[in-house]
Amino acid sequence: MIAPITTIIASVKELRKFSQEHAAPAGVKQILICAGGGCLASGSDQVIDALRDEVLKQKLSGAVNVTAVGCMGLCVEGPVMLVVDDMTFYQRVKPADAAEIITEHVVGGKIIERLVARDAQGEKAVACIDEIDFFKKQTKIVLRNCGRIDPECINDALNAGVYQALGNVLDGMTPDDVIDEMKESGLRGRGGAGFPTWMKWNFTRQTPADQRYMLCNADEGDPGAYMDRSVLEGDPHTLIEGMVIGAYAIGASQGYVYVRAEYPLAVARLQKAIDDAHAHGLLGDHILGSDFSFNLEIRMGSGAFVCGEETALMASIEGKRGEPRPRPPFPAQKGLWGKPTVLNNVETFANVPAIIGKGAAWYASFGTEKSKGTKVFALAGAVRNTGLVEVPVGTPLGELIYDIGGGIVDNKPFKAAQLGGPSGGCVPKQHLNVPLDYESLSELGAIMGSGGLIVMDDDACMVDVARFFIEFVQEESCGKCVPCRVGTKRMLEILTRICDGQGRMEDIDRLIELGEFIKQGSLCGLGQTAPNPVLSTIRHFREEYVEHIRDHHCRAGVCASLVRAPCQSACPAGVDIPGFVSLVGEKRYNEALMLHRNRNPFASVCARVCFHTCEEKCRRSTLDDAVSIRGVKRFMVEQEKEMQLPEVRENADNAQKKIAIIGSGPAGISCAFFLARLGYKPVVFEKEARPGGMLVQAIPAYRLPRETLAREIRMVESLGVKIETNKALGREFTLQSLKDDGYDAIFVAIGAPDGVRVDLPGCDADGVADAMAFLREYNIRGSVPVGNEVVVIGGGNAAIDAARTAVRLGADSVTVLYRRTREEMPAYAEEIEEALQEGVRIESLTAPEGIVEANGKVAGVKCRKMHLGEFDRSGRRRPEADEEDCFVVDADQVIMAVGQTIDGSVFGGAFGLDRRGWIKADPVTGQTSLEGVFAGGDSVTGPMSVVHAIGDGERAAVAIDQFLSGEKHPFWRVEQANTTDYDPDEDPVPYPRETLRMMPVDKRRSNFDEVEQAWNESEAVRQARRCLRCDYGKCAVCEEEVSNA
């Protein structure tokens, strides 16, 4: 240990000598362990004690030094520590690990693998801090000492070079020199507004006065930002140094740091630093023996967000209510107690010594044309590596989130990033490429702000987020300006109304109008920016507002009044999931099935092929894993011995009406099913020889046995639906001929049955097939030519289905080429996994360039390797071609599966298609531009899932009924009381999630038998009981039942 010096450092010379004299003695092993706010909350104080005890126990005092340091940044993995010798970074360290760390590593030199980070693939251990993705892509200027020095030890700070810049300043720089240096550096205020620091200083310096003040804004109130806290707690001397330099430049003799009350640790450490600096002559009278004197005090906030605004902050220091006042006069003219005052943010000050120390030119080499240096961001929310990161200004948002932040938790899709807290806005996935600088962000309606960056995935409701921020500013509005006080209240009322499902369509424009008024009519930054989160979410996510208002639907499953249970809300068909799952839990299988069938004619089909959006929203996943809803359903449908028919309301009037449904896929059959239940007798026309649409044409039998599908179609037929096969639109009949035949209403659900053809050189060669045609030919006609070496181009479900079908038809090798990464393949993850097990090879990041022909026949595919470039509008990285040469994958058959489309000519120009070639139809009713003609399913939306099509069919049935009868009668939409037993006070059952069993690979490669096997009863019941019953108490009928019980 270095003996603490008690004498005053009397001159710049002494300061310079200091670091040489007090350099850490050689041979002492340093262990740095984070004692920042985050790691302390994770228990780092206990780890520190354990390490120190261990050092004593092993009699290593003097040889090993355990130092508690400030925030290292990677809060999520805390407690974190660094063994300085070889720069090994340990994470999630527990007190019990202390002995091993000292014995094995510090003494024995062996790195403890289980405590180090993993690489991006989660495979390789990465021990050295400089090689960890999170750290290696950062540039640390502001946080240069955070996590490297003991914040409570001034010697440590001095050794690290803190106060050397102050020495430079007092050793011959004039105040003008300092301001010039600031000017040249291009430093802009890091509190959010980005005002040039030198200009603020210069204005203040030039205002004649007997007293000037230097203030630091450490009232870090923006929720989600905590870089100031980190500097205060991790490197307080750098802040003090920055403030003394600034005070010297503007001629201030008194300063205050205004720290918020929520940061008690920051206050304590800063106070100690101030006391120590005084004791060393670095604050107070005649600093470093010069003529310059500066005193610094802490003032604590008392829980008022508005005090982060400069004039309010000054009022608060003066001991008054923290209300802002009009500007001008600006603080540079009249600030604290009427004197010229500079107020800068903590991060701004932390930059100052670095600029003086290393020079303005060095600093200006980071960043963009208009914004120099670095910015610290607090990454939080749904990102893997939450914590503090510092990057050059102008770094693209996507790089921050994916390269440094490690991407989204659980690989969910990125939805938006919220920057700048209640004053800021959000950036949606289309703009992941936006450079993080002041100008680019404000163009998108967001702001750099203080650097809080909350990452949101699909589980965030943008309307709810807007409501959250407005509630925040409404509560924190000081009340002085009426537009802010009353306007935010009105906005909150409107947003609450929308979240409760009571919104009106005109509310959206009302919010925009109110927002503009508030911006114009408020005195301070709080009011002027308060509407930003709302305006920005409306700008980028207007459709979510519309869904809340029009459909009473919250797609994120967040808004409590609109969501009975998140799973049910996420089901496009609106199936009562907690209902049927809990009935299975009580072995009431027929009731369960009837409840399911009430909203979905294809229970057995969906038990096999549904991609279960319900499970993605299952709340049980916050506890352990989602309920295996599809697995429960699979067991349930196997129990159906006698066909369970749903309620049908016969109606003589309806039975007279003629309704034609074109297409017998899930949308068409679903529409027919619901119409039949209202007493209609619709006729379904099917182009192919067998009904089922994509279910029979594209989905192979090993996923969906033919009899399963046929049985459910028979069920629908038994309700009074007639299906006519081999009748195609544009061939046997037209829209007009149907009308001529007296059909009162028509539902067009022809799907997207045709494959998109890519214009690759050589694609006319013999042996090039289209996946849709390939699958259809096999599934309908029972045979299709298949090659020995098959290459499938594409990454969707059709590609995987074609590949697995080719395996079963005897291909020697099947290779799937996909131009993006495997994680980005649109096919369902389970299908990809099974394909791999069956021997399908997947070449990701590989794009086809052309077909190699030999004698007019396919001989191979010329490919080029790709790498990921910038983020595109879909929020994914765009694949870009490598420089390297092309290579050839041998093939005698190439199956293209790059997209699906419809042949618009079958409509005979009867109605409009959108620019992507799909039918234009009302999103709620399916009404097209032709009266009485409705459309739904893939032919409107483009290829979507089975259950989406089922939902579309149901909505069309309701709309057709309304069109024909003048009223809506969807009786199946009335929620049914859940009559199963449930004790809300009981702990959830502990069983883990089980997945369905698969047929062994060797038994499935050569046939089309079903691969997935249902559970037995005891497993199914156990799994069903894992449901947390989110629907409990959410339905009026159920409430009544409960109270009557």
Partner 1 sequence: MAENTTCCACSDGLTEQEMLLQLDELIGEYLDKPGGLIPALQIAQGRFGHLPESVLKKISADFGKPYSEVAGVVSFYSFFSTVPRGKYVVRTCLGTACYVRGGKEVLSALKKQLGIDVGETTDDRLFSLDVGRCFGACGLAPVIMVNDDVHQRVKPSKIGELLKAYAATEEGVAQ
Distance of CA 220 to the CA centre of its chain: 24
Q: How many CB atoms lie within 10 A of CB 1026?
A: 25
CB distance 917 to 903 below 8 Å:
no
Task: List the beta bridge partners of residue 889.
Answer: 861
User: Residue 661 interacts with partner 1 (CB under 8 A)?
Assistant: no
Binds partner 1 (CB under 8 A): choice among 35, 37, 894, 1024: 37
Contacting residues for 487 by C-beta, under 8 A, at least 6 apart: 514, 517, 518, 521, 531
CA 337, CA 211: separation in Å to the nearest integer?
10
Which helix or strand (DSSP H or E) is residue 983 part of? none
Cα dihedral 741/742/744/746 (nearest 10): 0
CB of residue 381 vs partner 1: minimum separation in angstroms? 5
- Which of 403, 374, 373, 405 minimizes the C-alpha distance to 391? 374
Contact stretch for partner 1 (CB under 8 A) within 40-48, 484-492, 635-643, 998-1006: 40-48
User: Residue 622 interacts with partner 1 (CB under 8 A)?
Assistant: yes
Q: Tokens 């035949």 belong to which residue? A: 741
User: Residue 386 interacts with partner 1 (CB under 8 A)?
Assistant: yes
**Residue 456 or residue 745: which is nearer to partner 1 going by CB?**
456
Number of residues engaging partner 1 in binding (CB under 8 A): 67
User: Residue 478 interacts with partner 1 (CB under 8 A)?
Assistant: yes
Strands 846-854 and 414-419: unpaired
**Residue 144 or residue 229: which is nearer to partner 1 going by CB?**
229
Binds partner 1 (CB under 8 A): choice among 224, 483, 557, 665: 224
**Residue 619 or residue 727: which is nearer to partner 1 going by CB?**
619
Binding residues among 266-285 for partner 1 as defined by CB under 8 A: 267-268, 271-272
**The residue type at 624:** D
Question: Phi then psi for 113, rounded to 5 degrees?
Answer: -60, -35
**Residue 386 or residue 395: which is nearer to partner 1 going by CB?**
386
Binds partner 1 (CB under 8 A): choice among 313, 382, 404, 847: 382
The HSE-up count of residue 763 (CA atoms within 13 Å, CB side) is 15
Binds partner 1 (CB under 8 A): choice among 60, 84, 279, 300: 300
Contact stretch for partner 1 (CB under 8 A) within 216-224, 393-401, 490-498, 795-803: 216-224
CA 773, CA 901: separation in Å to the nearest integer?
12
CB of residue 147 vs partner 1: minimum separation in angstroms? 14
**Residue 461 or residue 1024: which is nearer to partner 1 going by CB?**
461
User: Residue 998 interacts with partner 1 (CB under 8 A)?
Assistant: no
User: Residue 322 interacts with partner 1 (CB under 8 A)?
Assistant: yes
Report DSSP letters for 108-133, one per residue: T----GGGSEE-TTS-SEE-BGGGSH
Find the length of the chain: 1045
**Residue 37 or residue 194: which is nearer to partner 1 going by CB?**
37
Contact stretch for partner 1 (CB under 8 A) within 110-118, 373-381, 902-910, 992-1000: 373-381
CA 82, CA 150: separation in Å to the nearest integer?
13
User: Residue 305 interacts with partner 1 (CB under 8 A)?
Assistant: yes
**Residue 356 or residue 465: which is nearer to partner 1 going by CB?**
465
Task: List the beta bridge partners of residue 854.
Answer: 857
Question: Phi then psi for 883, rounded to 5 degrees?
Answer: -70, -30
**The residue type at 706:** R
Binding residues among 17-36 for partner 1 as defined by CB under 8 A: none
CB distance 384 to 409 below 8 Å:
yes
CA 620, CA 203: separation in Å to the nearest integer?
58
Question: Phi then psi for 278, rounded to 5 degrees?
Answer: -60, -45
User: Residue 1033 interacts with partner 1 (CB under 8 A)?
Assistant: no
CB of residue 532 vs partner 1: minimum separation in angstroms? 13
CA 685, CA 660: separation in Å to the nearest integer?
7
- Which of 588, 577, 639 minimizes the C-alpha distance to 610? 577
CB of residue 837 vs partner 1: minimum separation in angstroms? 36
Provide the greatest CA pair distance for the chain: 105
**Residue 226 or residue 743: which is nearer to partner 1 going by CB?**
226
CB of residue 484 vs partner 1: minimum separation in angstroms? 16
Contact stretch for partner 1 (CB under 8 A) within 312-320, 736-744, 937-945, 973-981: 312-320
Binds partner 1 (CB under 8 A): choice among 89, 263, 438, 673: 263
The HSE-up count of residue 95 (CA atoms within 13 Å, CB side) is 12
**The residue type at 338:** G
CB of residue 38 vs partner 1: minimum separation in angstroms? 5
Which helix or strand (DSSP H or E) is residue 177 part of? helix 175-185
Helical ranges in 809-875 per DSSP H: 829-837
**Residue 43 or residue 904: which is nearer to partner 1 going by CB?**
43
**Residue 409 or residue 1021: which is nearer to partner 1 going by CB?**
409
**The residue type at 386:** T
CB of residue 544 vs partner 1: minimum separation in angstroms? 15
CB of residue 569 vs partner 1: minimum separation in angstroms? 17
**Residue 188 or residue 229: which is nearer to partner 1 going by CB?**
229
User: Residue 390 interacts with partner 1 (CB under 8 A)?
Assistant: no
User: Residue 370 interacts with partner 1 (CB under 8 A)?
Assistant: no
CB of residue 264 vs partner 1: minimum separation in angstroms? 5
Cα dihedral 947/952/957/958 (nearest 10): 110
Helical ranges in 779-901 per DSSP H: 797-808, 829-837
The interface mask with partner 1, positions 399-438, x = CB under 8 A, is -------------------x--x-----------------
**Residue 91 or residue 941: which is nearer to partner 1 going by CB?**
91
Interhelix angle 482-499/462-476, rounded to 10 degrees, is 150
Contact stretch for partner 1 (CB under 8 A) within 39-47, 754-762, 784-792, 991-999: 39-47
CB of residue 158 vs partner 1: minimum separation in angstroms? 22
Contact stretch for partner 1 (CB under 8 A) within 84-92, 374-382, 392-400, 936-944: 374-382
CB distance 928 to 750 below 8 Å:
no
Binding residues among 69-128 for partner 1 as defined by CB under 8 A: 75-76, 78
Binds partner 1 (CB under 8 A): choice among 378, 704, 765, 897: 378
Q: Tokens 């060797």 belong to which residue? A: 1002
**Residue 314 or residue 432: which is nearer to partner 1 going by CB?**
314
Q: Which residues bind partner 1 (CB under 8 A)?
A: 37-38, 40-42, 75-76, 78, 220-226, 229-230, 261-265, 267-268, 271-272, 297-305, 316-323, 337, 378-382, 386-388, 418, 421, 452, 454, 456, 459-460, 465, 468-469, 472, 476, 478, 622-623
